[in-house]
Structure 1
Amino acid sequence: MLPRLHSLTLLRLFAASWVVVFHFHHKFPPAPGGVWERFCGNGHFAMPLFFVLSGLVLAYCYPRIPDASAIQRFYWARFARVFPAYAVMHLLALLLMVELWHSDPVRWIYSNVLSALGLQAWFHYTFPIGLNGATWSVSVEAFFYLLFPALLPVCQYFEQRWGPLRPLVLCILFSTFIGFSDIAFETGYDSGYYILPILRLPDFILGVFLGVQLRRESKLGPRAWLGLITALVLFSVVTTLPNSWLGSTQMNFRARGLVSLAVCGLLFFCARVEQYHRPAWQSLPLRILIYLGEASYALFLVHVLLVRIMEFPVFRPTVMVLKVKGLHSEAWIVFCTISLVAAIALHELVEKPARRWLKRRHTRSAPASPALPPVEAFTVRS
């Protein structure tokens, strides 16, 4: 069994927390002009981090998927990991927002049927009107999972033929090209451009190349530490740039090449250092953070629904009072606390038991065959 890379779990927690503050800062913005305000406003850069990490983890945990039965078990493992908590939150959103049915029943049915099927990212009209809008990234991940058994041998072939650097450079260049391609459209930025799975695919392929490389033995010299420091500096600089430097809208890919480069270095060198040095993770604060990292998918699912609930008429007066009195810090503390408690409940009461039950059910019904490596501890989501 492969050792767990807890550094990747911590980075997953960081990315999920970044998405949380990105969505909440629209309700209670921090002081303008500061580093924290720019960091919150650039939370869309968490998406490349999620998608690269997803490809890396899958390629690291699944070195090969040799036959049809292995592909079937891979898909079932992904379904058991993702769908139960996703379905529960979608049903909860339907119950809480049933009044939207009366305002526009046709669009309501359309958007939620697509969301239930995991297809909402392909039809961008579901993005602004969907009940739990941030789940577009789950739809993107489903597309990646579908392609992964075919992508893995292709990436392994090019990695062996060209080495690790050339495929990464080509993917980053292609990703950068996509990032700048919006200048060709006079209509400007569109949400469908932001969520379309095929345009997010280069990030996932980058992760697959990194995961393939992580399985190969190599020396850990000063270059690894230098690469990690460089990636941290680059990531810190790009993610705290003023939004006005990155284009006319917040959500854009103008700096995508730099972000992809920084994310690749950050993930790869963190994992490589942990592979060789095996840091101790036994201290209580680190164990708590690792647990929260394992529950970060649940955190991602619950927080946007909480943001939507804040728009309910019954809560609007409270939100307005907090804004008028300038109690932004108190609002942040309450929102983050409720999000964490709800995420832990979803993780413990739905996500973990449903995954165990589905895996046992599939194991009893499937014919005996060599087991695939476990991947639950590394699964990532945005």
Structure 2
Amino acid sequence: MSGLTSVSEGAALSHPRPEILALTGLRGLAGVAVVASTVGVWRTAPDVLHDLVAGVGVLAIPFFLVLSGYVLAYNYPSLSYSAGRQLIGRYAMARVARLAPLFLVVGACVLLLGALNGGDWVRAVYADQAWFVASVVLCYAAYPLLAGFVASRRVAAIVAALVVGAVLLVVELGTSVELYRIPIVWLPVFVLGMTLRMPSFPRWLANRVLVRIGVISYPLFLTHSLVIHGFGRVPAGSVPNALLALCWIALAVLVAEGAHRYVGVPGRRWLMDLARRLDRRTASVDG
């Protein structure tokens, strides 16, 4: 079974540690939850169901940042900017190759469609995605600065992240300032992910379907609003509408699979191959 770090998914550089497929499956589960929470059919559902689905959708973003923090700490436990140009370069290129091709191509498509549908359409479809990617990029850049401290002073890092997070939450709830739109505000969440000691996961999370959705979770996040906003949210109230909502979710997954296969993987492979060639050139010069 291939995961995010397999060669078939464009990972041309060797990965530091084996991928935890259950985490990839968990990522897929969260990705489906995000799509389900935005499809619209839940808006007039019973309060308990509506609150559950809405809550899952809201918590999915912090979950992805926590997961990113954990995965980076798992793969690069002692990374720092003093580790050398080659190691930092490989780290940076792996992050860029994962994010940039899909974000740029999907963004270009959204801008093109926005030119036909108006600027509000662009904001409705891609504003959250752009904000999230900016937050992730900031966390990736901050990781080499934070890794040593978090690894050596885990308890202090947890306390600091919780205190800063609590202060930011109080400010967010007590004022009209939308702090959550500022990428640096999410650093405490990312740091908490770096401090985690993951337990063993149930085997069903490594299910082939969930792992596959986990592999395409990033393009799913980028493209699902495009699908749902383009075709319209589904009103609640009948079984046919519920089935239509499931069709929208399935369509979003199919679009994400296509974006991953025909944009994400080739773009990632090209950039990672470029990094590998640069590695060889640097090694030959140093030698």
TM superposition score category, shorter chain reference: 0.7 to 0.9
The percent identity for this pair of structures is 26
TM-score, structure 1 as length reference: 0.62
Amino acid at match of 1:154: F
Amino acid at match of 1:344: E
Aligned to 2:145: 150
Taking a change above 3 Å as real, the CA distance of residues 324 and 55 of structure 1, as seen in their structure-2 partners, is: closer
Cα displacement string for residues 244-272 of structure 1 (whole angstroms, at most 9, x for unaligned residues): xxxxxxxxxxxxxxxxxxxxxxxx22xxx
Amino acid at match of 1:76: M
Cα displacement string for residues 269-318 of structure 1 (whole angstroms, at most 9, x for unaligned residues): 2xxx25xxx95988xxx11221111111111111011122135xxxxxxx
Deviation at 1:127, TM superposition (A): 11
Between 1 and 2, higher relative CO (CA 8 Å, sep ≥ 6) is seen in: 2
Taking a change above 3 Å as real, the CA distance of residues 127 and 139 of structure 1, as seen in their structure-2 partners, is: farther
Which one of 25, 30, 54 corresponds to residue 41 of structure 1? 54
Aligned to 1:16: 31
Aligned to 1:123: none
Task: Show the 5 A alignment for 1:200-215.
Answer: 200-210=186-196, 214=197
Report whether the alignment pairs 1:340 with 2:261.
Answer: no
Secondary structure of 2:153 counterpart: helix
Cα displacement string for residues 314-368 of structure 1 (whole angstroms, at most 9, x for unaligned residues): xxxxx68x66867430221121111011111111111112111111122113335
Task: Show the 5 A alignment for 1:1-382.
Answer: 2-25=17-40, 29-34=43-48, 36-42=49-55, 43-65=57-79, 66-100=83-117, 129=123, 131-135=125-129, 136-159=131-154, 165-185=155-175, 188=176, 190=177, 192-210=178-196, 214=197, 268-269=198-199, 273-274=200-201, 279=203, 286-310=207-231, 327-366=240-279, 367-368=281-282
Q: Structure 1: how far apart are the matches of 2:247 and 2:20? A: 31
Q: Structure 1: how far apart are the matches of 2:125 and 2:203? A: 42
Deviation at 1:13, TM superposition (A): 1.2
- Structure 1 gaps of 5+ residues are 102-107, 109-125, 160-164, 215-267, 312-318, 370-382
Q: Does structure 2 retain, via aligned residues, the 8 Å contact 1:97–1:131?
A: no
Q: Structure 1: how far apart are the matches of 2:68 and 2:158? A: 16
Cα displacement string for residues 28-66 of structure 1 (whole angstroms, at most 9, x for unaligned residues): 5252223x2111222211121111111110111112331
Q: Structure 1: how far apart are the matches of 2:22 and 2:104? A: 29
Amino acid at match of 2:214: G
Q: Structure 2: how far apart are the matches of 1:52 and 1:85? A: 22
Cα root mean square deviation, aligned: 2.7
Secondary structure of 1:50 counterpart: helix
Q: Does structure 2 retain, via aligned residues, the 8 Å contact 1:299–1:343?
A: yes
Secondary structure of 1:64 counterpart: coil
- Structure 2 gaps of 5+ residues are 1-15
**Higher helix proportion, which one?**
2
User: Whose Rg is larger?
Assistant: 1
